Amino acid sequence: MELLLDFATAEERLDRIDAFIDSVLAANPKATTFDINEKLRRSHAYIKRGVLYYGDESRNLNPLLAETILRNDRIDRIESFGAVIEAELNRLCQIYKVERRDLISLMSERKPSAARAVNQLRGIFDNTTLDYKDLKSAIRESGFQIHRTESGDILAVNFNEYIIIDLRAEGFDLTRLDYKPQKKEQPTVQKPKEHQSQPKKSGIRPLQDAGGGASDSNREWEVGKKPDYDDIDDGRTLKM
């Protein structure tokens, strides 16, 4: 590479670096940005997010090369999880949008950090004092997210530690993840006391002398006399 770049113009140098990257991918279809930069380092060139840099010059890589390298970077990220079950690998391909499932292989056994995480999660699930809300909180605090797939798989994923675990395959009690609303005790409602109505007082004054004759009775209704009614309804005295 150094000999090819010595007496070339800037444009020729970039073209030759493009051709070199193409040859690297032909030899290793899964070469990542890191892999290619390791080979370009001695030529003082590097690539980053689909752009080729050489000294003070830069230009976009061929779109096909750029897309292939970015795809390989995503594949490398998937493989760092060390998936051991098809459901785990399929979910990672969905997350990182990789269609070339054939380029990725399952691991024969879990990496040590994943094995420790299984035991950590098992301790959380086995704690029966945790209700639904506390269980989900404890899982999040341990660095995991719960992912449910359309096919019914339930997985715990830790993106910081690159760990994925198929909870059903590991024998976890998945009913613990089902929401169960707690029954609230209904407060006792006291019945209001029945209101006993008081008998209404009559607005008519009782006769002072019930034993009097007709003259006594007529005296109550003499002209010019106002009957002694209590105020009722509209607060005014009835007029005859």
- pLDDT tens figures, 53-101: 988 888 899 899 999 999 999 999 999 999 999 999 999 999 999 998 8
pLDDT in tens, 129-174: 999 899 999 999 999 999 999 889 999 999 999 999 999 999 999 9
- Residue 169 domain-assigned? yes
104 shares its domain with 27: no
Over pLDDT 90: what percentage of the chain? 52
Q: What is the span of the domain harbouring residue 107? A: 87-177
- Residue 235 domain-assigned? no
Residue where a domain stops, chosen among 177, 203, 230: 177
- pLDDT at residue 120 tops 70: yes
> How many domains in the chain?
2
- Residue 52 domain-assigned? yes
* pLDDT in the model for residue 237: 42
Higher model confidence: residue 97 or residue 14? 97
- pLDDT at residue 200 tops 50: yes
Residue where a domain stops, chosen among 40, 74, 108: 74
234 pLDDT tier (thresholds 50, 70, 90): very low
240 pLDDT tier (thresholds 50, 70, 90): very low
103 shares its domain with 166: yes
* pLDDT in the model for residue 14: 82
151 shares its domain with 99: yes
- Residue 97 domain-assigned? yes
225 pLDDT tier (thresholds 50, 70, 90): very low
94 shares its domain with 170: yes
Whole-prediction pTM value?
0.68
7 shares its domain with 53: yes
Mean pLDDT of 220-226: 45
Residue where a domain stops, chosen among 49, 74, 99: 74
121 shares its domain with 47: no
- Per the prediction, the chain carries an average pLDDT of 80
17 shares its domain with 59: yes
DSSP character string of the chain: -HHHHHT--HHHHHHHHHHHHHHHHHH-TT--HHHHHHHHGGGTEEEETTEEEETTEEEEPPHHHHHHHHHHHHHHHHHTT---SHHHHHHHHHHTT---GGG----SS--HHHHHHHHHHHHHHT-TT--HHHHHHHHHHTT-EEEE-TTS-EEEEETTTTEEEETTTTT--GGGGS--PPPPPPPPPPPPPPPPPPPPPPSSPPPS-TT--HHHHHHTT-TT----PPPBTTTB----
- Residue 233 domain-assigned? no
42 shares its domain with 98: no
